[in-house]
Amino acid sequence: MQRIERHACFGGWQEVWRHESATLGCAMNVGVYLPPQAADGPCPVLYWLSGLTCTEQNFITKAGAQRYAAEHGLILVAPDTSPRGDGVPDGEGYDLGLGAGFYVNATRAPWATHYRMHDYVVDELPTLVEAHFPANAARAISGHSMGGHGALVLALRNPGRYRSVSAFAPIVAPSQVPWGRKAFTAYLGPDESAWREWDACALVANATERLPLRVDQGEADDFLREQLQPWRLQEACSAADHPLQLALHAGSDHSYYFIASLIGTHIAWHAHALRD
Ligand SMILES: N[C@@H](CCC(=O)N[C@@H](CS)C(=O)NCC(=O)O)C(=O)O
């Protein structure tokens, strides 16, 4: 691993590391915030998954999360949103290919070779983080939009792996909305039965661990009605008796201004779960 950025931040360090990913078959950048407490011993880790078009930079430069991570002694790990580099295929538009990995393991050509963001985030990255940084094995996961979908799906698919999960403006039912249908058709193929295992609303029905889902959604989000549809998650959770804490916020849009406004409450909530 090679450190390519290092900035003093709220008594700790915001770093960006670059490493060769065996899972993705390319070099990846990852943002790592080390709180001041990491100098004295291992800290729990909050994984953050960003949305469409993002790299590891959006969250670390716009969310203002470091202040709260320093307060609570959490390491923040913010990976890129897709594999990148020579030989990694791209798709048509901002919502397929580079910057749009959807946190699935693709099964179709030409995507299947590199687009394995589920395994990268769930397995390879924590192994790396826990080996190279003062991190313990207590993990939480959160994300925004496509990354909110990623956080919900990764937590639901991997019981016991995360102590808590939250999402900002997530795509809750990718099988039912244009962003998800386009990506899943490409990455997973046209057989929609294969999409269910990557769809939070479908996964909730059969979840073996009833980890509470915390979701915040802006009511002035331009993507709310067509792409996000949080009421679908409300229906799925209510049918499965799965705990959901969904809050709607008047006036908030889809941007990082919304995330920055609420990230402190999410980090405090994750910190509480990670302490137990
Ligand atoms: N750029 C797209 C929208 C993509 C978008 O809103 N991306 C969100 C995540 S889904 C984001 O975080 N954008 C980067 C940013 O706000 O820094 C468009 O042209 O409509």
Q: Cα–Cα distances in Å, from 45 out to 172, 219, 220?
A: 24, 30, 31
The pLDDT tens digits of the residues spanning 36-64 come to 999 999 999 999 999 999 999 999 999 99
Residue 141 is predicted with a pLDDT of 98
pLDDT less than 70: residues of the chain = 276
* C-alpha to C-alpha distance for 215 and 219, rounded to whole angstroms: 13
Determine whether the shortest distance from the Cβ of 254 to ligand 1 is under 6 A.
Answer: yes
What's phi and psi for 124, nearest 5 deg? -65, -45
Q: Are strands 12-21 and 26-34 parallel, antiparallel or unpaired?
A: antiparallel
Say what the ipTM of the complex is. Answer: 0.93
Question: How large is the C-alpha radius of gyration of the chain?
Answer: 17
Which domains, from first to last, does the chain contain?
Answer: 2-275 (3.40.50.1820)
Determine whether the shortest distance from the Cβ of 255 to ligand 1 is under 6 A.
Answer: yes
- Residues 73, 15: contact at Cβ < 8 Å? no
Q: Catalytic residues, which ones?
A: 145, 221, 254
The pLDDT tens digits of the residues spanning 226-247 come to 999 999 999 999 999 999 999 9
Residue 38 is predicted with a pLDDT of 98
Closest ligand 1 atom to residue 54 Cα is 14
* Apex 197 CA angle, 204 and 98, nearest 5: 115
Chain centroid to Cα 261, Å, comes to 18
* C-alpha to C-alpha distance for 4 and 223, rounded to whole angstroms: 34
Nearest to 179 by CA among 236, 259, 94: 94
| Cα 51 to averaged position of ligand 1 atoms, centre (Å) | 7
| Cα 146 to averaged position of ligand 1 atoms, centre (Å) | 10
DSSP tag of 252:
-
Determine whether the shortest distance from the Cβ of 58 to ligand 1 is under 6 A.
Answer: yes
Residue 73 is predicted with a pLDDT of 98
Residue closest by Cα to atom 16 of ligand 1: 255
Determine whether the shortest distance from the Cβ of 53 to ligand 1 is under 6 A.
Answer: yes
The CA dihedral of 43, 63, 200, 97, to the nearest 10 degrees, is -110
Which two structure tokens, joined as six digits, stand for 37? 């407490």
Determine whether the shortest distance from the Cβ of 94 to ligand 1 is under 6 A.
Answer: yes
Residue 276 is predicted with a pLDDT of 65
What's phi and psi for 224, nearest 5 deg? -55, -55
Nearest to 105 by CA among 118, 121, 90, 122: 118
